[in-house]
Structure 1
Amino acid sequence: MTTAQHKIGSGFGATSTASEVLDGVNLTGKLAVVTGGYSGIGLETTRALVAAGAHVVVPARRRASAEEALAGVGGVEIDELDLADLDSVRAFAGRFIASGRGIDLFIGSAGIMAAPETRIGPGWEAQFATNHLGHFALVNRLWPAFAPGARIVSVSSRGHFFSGIRWDDPQFERGYDKWEAYGQAKTADILFTVRLDHLARARGVRAFALHPGRILTNLVRHLTNDELVARGMLDENGALTGETKDTGQGAATQVWAATSPQLDGMGGVYLEDCDIAEPAPADGTMTGVCGYAVDSAAAARLWALSAELTGVDAFA
């Protein structure tokens, strides 16, 4: 059954924290994989899942940084993974599959935002390649390890409003705009879960995408202070604005998506502020989710394109 893209009245909201949404949730015996689980809201997610009893695998591009950030946090193991390198994705997935363990929770929290034009691999635009294609390849290669009832969570953004999929030029070969490229990548993150949920639900595996909120983390490293003011994250004096969440609040929606019994039997929807989001209003206000980002035909088309580019499709 298709889940309606409408609020369910979770009882949580924009100021809820990861620890609050996990109150009373026992994850003992569960294994979670969290990309980006050593920085920003990913780090807060790792800590919250461990506190609830989960064992968390954190694949990291900067292993030394991950070890430093997670020092003293029990129940965590760190491995090497560069989402921009498909050979690295293949190697990590191979090591995990060989361990014989199952995955109960997967949260794709790693990503880059508004980066200067960068080409990786066969000339792919870096934001699309890292945020979407790397996670697409990783989930497909890990698919044999997903346990029945597992949840797969993709951290998207309200930035998906900036662009749909540029079907005629997804790699921005005819002119680059960092915000449009970010928007396309975040739309791709949503469409990925729409199609994945359709394909995976026969095994009881469900997928969700989400907007975590505005959080001032290392994700904004490519932005100047003037740009942060223009985006409403800082005021003219350089102080955080009221619309900005702290990392505990920023991690809440992805933790809720991965663990909440309120979402049992649901999937393939976009979340924000610890609830299912409403469709975007017709007046152009950037709340909820754009129709092009949850369109099933577009999701199937993107899946086919991504499989062609990465050479992997667990459901073929």
Structure 2
Amino acid sequence: MTAHEAEGRADLAAMAEALYALVPGEFTRARNDRTTQLRADGEKDLADAVKALPKPSAGAWLVNMMVRQMSEEIGQVLELGAALRQAQEQLDAAQLRALNNQRRRLTAAVVRQAVKVAAGLGQKVSPAVADQAEATLHAAMTDDGAAAALRTGLLVAPMEAAGLGGVDLAGVVAVPGAMDHVPRTVEAEAAAEESPARRLTVVPDRTRLLEEATEALEAAQFLADGAARALRKAEDHVSRLEARGLQLRAEIEELQRQIDERESTLQSVEDDLGEADEQREAAVETHDEAQAAVDAARQKVAKLNRRR
């Protein structure tokens, strides 16, 4: 490797360190901003390399965060891993059993602590992601290469021990040639007199900002136009319903007037019916009396005819 290549790899590792120290939601924008700035500075090759850096998975981010913010605990994990590997080489079964029990307790405790630290950074960790982090710690304890990968703090994917086959490290580290890279830890930054910012500082790209603002304006205008159309449609609907309501109310009032009129007519008819019933009863009584008189006269006439 030439001196120039080594310098470029070191620069890439340094930029990757800053990027992989960010919380997941900030990674893509920061990477793109750094790429834009590098291109503007004429660093095309480095810009392409930074642009190619993949966003870490949630499990990888959690472990990278642990390397930076829980360096003491990670040190304990790796020390225990070294002891485990030595016991395995010496075929010390009793020691292996004891160390494996200790490993399970330690990795579980470290991950639980990491979940709390992540919550303090505004990142919620699911049980599945916590399991991935614990598996990654286990892998680093069983394999030298995995331990070196973990120390970089540049993981893009979780690791997993694969029995006698070791750990597959393909595509696990963001900068494969930086396996000896060790990121600055929180403790180191706190001890430094002038601690460099742990977040990327990027010179604003005014053209990009203007384009984004214009796109945001167009999107907002599109939404506003759609909302205006929806408002007009709703107002038309309301107007039609109000007109229909007025029409129905008028029809109800007319029907109510007709009902009142017919109720009045019905009352008059019922009154006339009462009088007509009385007149009919009187007529029946008169008719019955007249009929009785006719019957009596008829009988008298018949009686007189018989005496002749």
Shared fold by TM > 0.5?
Answer: no
Structure having the larger proportion of residues in helix? 2
Q: TM-score, normalised by structure 2?
A: 0.25
Q: TM-score, normalised by structure 1?
A: 0.24
| Structure showing greater Rg | 2
Structure having the larger proportion of residues in strand? 1
